[in-house]
Amino acid sequence: MTAMLEVRDVTKRFGGVVANDRISLTVKQGEIAGLIGPNGSGKTTLFGCITGTLPVDGGEVYFEGQPISHLRAGPIARLGLLRTWQQTRIYGEMSCAENMAISAREAHGGLLSLLKPVPVATRVRANDLLAFVGLHEKRDERGGRLSFGQQKLLEFAMALMNEPKLLLLDEPTAGINPTLINGLIDRLRRANAELGVTLLVIEHNMRVIMNLAHRITCLAHGEVLAEGTPAEIRDDARVLDAYLGVA
Amino acid sequence: MNRLSDWHIMGALVVLGLGLPFVAPSLITQLSFLWLMVVFAMTWDMLGGRMGYNSFGNIVFFGIGCYAAAVVQRDAGLPYFEALALGLALGAVLAVAAALLFGAALLGIRGHYFAIGTLGLGITAAEIAAGWDYVGAGSGMALPLYPGALGAREFFFCFSLFAVAVVCFLCLRWLYGTRFGLALNAIRDDQDKADAMGLRTTRIKVFAWCISAFFLAISGGLAANMIGFIDPRDVAFAGATFGVWMVLMAILGGKGTLWGPVLGAIVFHVTQELFWTYLLGWQRVALGLLIVVIVVFFPQGIMGWIAERRAAREGAAP
């Protein structure tokens, strides 16, 4: 497996606060990587640095071998690197079906390609993906009227609609009804295995991330604390210390 | 509204637009202004309603259309209709070029800042025109006389403006049915998300403004000829009247809906004319009150109000 994403010594400061301090990590093609860490450890900031929503102060990010830290969010997305947000971001006044239609990869094209109706194939795919996340009967509902958990599912489906190579998910299970979490884990796995999407997942729910991820990176105070398989992370004294504060 | 009733309403309006000038010739100037208002409201709504960018500067493109037509008709030395056609074309080209330029500069700023920036645009344009001798400066420009028979001029411009309104409506209706229409809505709802999903938002926004500018410039050249005289502040760059009305009409009818701006323009124009007729002396006060009533009681506009009522009825039904 080759490295799809390589983060090398990325540093991000907000005034005097160093949110990311020379963080390095790699995500290999085809894997599900986990990113954990206590609140304020810099996980979401790192997502912003990788996907171009935050300019980095130092270091470099390589996506499929190409340096991307000088690019903005749009060009990075068009390369096939996408993220979701912890506080979901969907198009609130548009129906779920419209949310999906405009998230299709064809919408990346120039103006001329936009001046066409949404193709039937895209509508079918949008319906399939809505069914995949369990929102099919909500397809004509306005996105803003969905519950928070449903919006998270919609945002996930929109991301899949975009056919990313690498998808960064920021707490995909937060706000989701606990009884549905197992179903969501299954869907993340299927997106990875069947649709071939490499995943990097921020997650606070330890049961979820330990089950889901092949490898986990743990951040604390803006630095990489530990890296390894779920079993290794689970037994790492420094990780336990960071989470529980035991000396 | 479903497709069928769409065509019904369009048919009714076409009958009105083509028939009324013959049935009631005394209303012809009012009708011409009505079509102008419809173009104003529709083109404003493309940015304000569909894309979420409240522009107070759209009047600039109208003014560019007015002046381009007037200058070409004055200086080209061509027969009336050739000069008019050339003037309209030049106005459209200049307005689209201006939209490209202003769009690149202004469409990067958002929310209230965009509104204020565009407000400055309209005022600046008026002051430049009022101080530029080539376009008559403060005394404005008179348009050449219409060559046809007495009364033919009114018919010609009424039908021309009607044609512009119809073409504009059909063009926007088609655009809103494409991915481009969805992209406009996406920008309105969450532009950062749209960026992060790979949409080329800047191009989309600038293109939308160019389309608005195109139709405004054409209608400007025609309106200048219909009125017969351009004043820089009261006709061409009339930000305080036309410029504000286009916003109000779109809001009154229902922002971001297909028929809202058309309906808003009709209701607004008719109401305004009634005020002039029956409340002379107080018409501006009444207009001001109407504006307050619109904003306070119909923030979603007539179409939004209808949709709400319908949703409530369907929700109440078993």
Taking CB atoms and an 8 Å limit, are A77 and B175 in contact across chains? no
Residue A47: CATH number of its domain: 3.40.50.300
Classify residue B49 by its DSSP letter: I
Interchain contact A117–B (C-beta under 8 A): yes
**Is A204 part of any domain?**
yes
**Is A144 part of any domain?**
no
Closest Cα in chain B to A52? B196
A135 vs A128: CA distance, rounded Å = 10
B119 vs A108: CA distance, rounded Å = 32
**Is A9 part of any domain?**
yes
- How distant is the Cα of B188 from the closest Cα of chain A, in angstroms? 8
Domain count for chain A: 1
* CB within 8 Å of A234: residues ≥ 6 apart: A210
Range of the domain at A157: 3-89+149-244
B7 vs B12: CA distance, rounded Å = 9
Q: Where are the domains of chain B?
A: 3-316
How many distinct helices (H) and strands (E) make up chain B? Answer: 13, 2
Residue A52 has a pLDDT of 92
**Is A104 part of any domain?**
no
**Is A176 part of any domain?**
yes
ipTM of the complex model: 0.90
Choose which CATH entry (3.40.50, 1.10.10, 1.20.1510, 1.10.3470) describes domain B3-316. 1.10.3470
Give ∠ CA B145-B146-B147 in degrees, rounded to 5.
110
Tell me the sheet residues that pair with A83.
A168
Question: In this complex, how many residue pairs, one in chain A and one in chain B, have their CB atoms less than 8 Å apart?
Answer: 99
pLDDT (tens digit per residue) in B204-223: 999 999 999 999 999 999 99
- How distant is the Cα of A49 from the closest Cα of chain B, in angstroms? 13
pLDDT (tens digit per residue) in A42-70: 999 999 999 999 999 999 999 999 999 99
| Best of A63, A81, A98, A102 to mutate (most B CBs within 10 Å, chain B) | A102
pLDDT (tens digit per residue) in B234-288: 888 888 889 888 998 999 888 989 999 999 999 999 988 888 888 888 888 888 8
Give the pTM. 0.90
Instruction: Specify burial of residue B294 (Cβ count, 10 A radius: 0-12, 13-18, 19+).
Output: buried
Taking CB atoms and an 8 Å limit, are B204 and A111 in contact across chains? yes
Nearest to A91 among B177, B186, B195 (CB): B186
- Give 10-residue mean pLDDT values along chain B (318 residues): 69 87 86 94 94 92 95 90 94 96 89 88 90 86 84 90 95 94 95 93 94 96 93 86 90 90 92 86 83 82 84 66
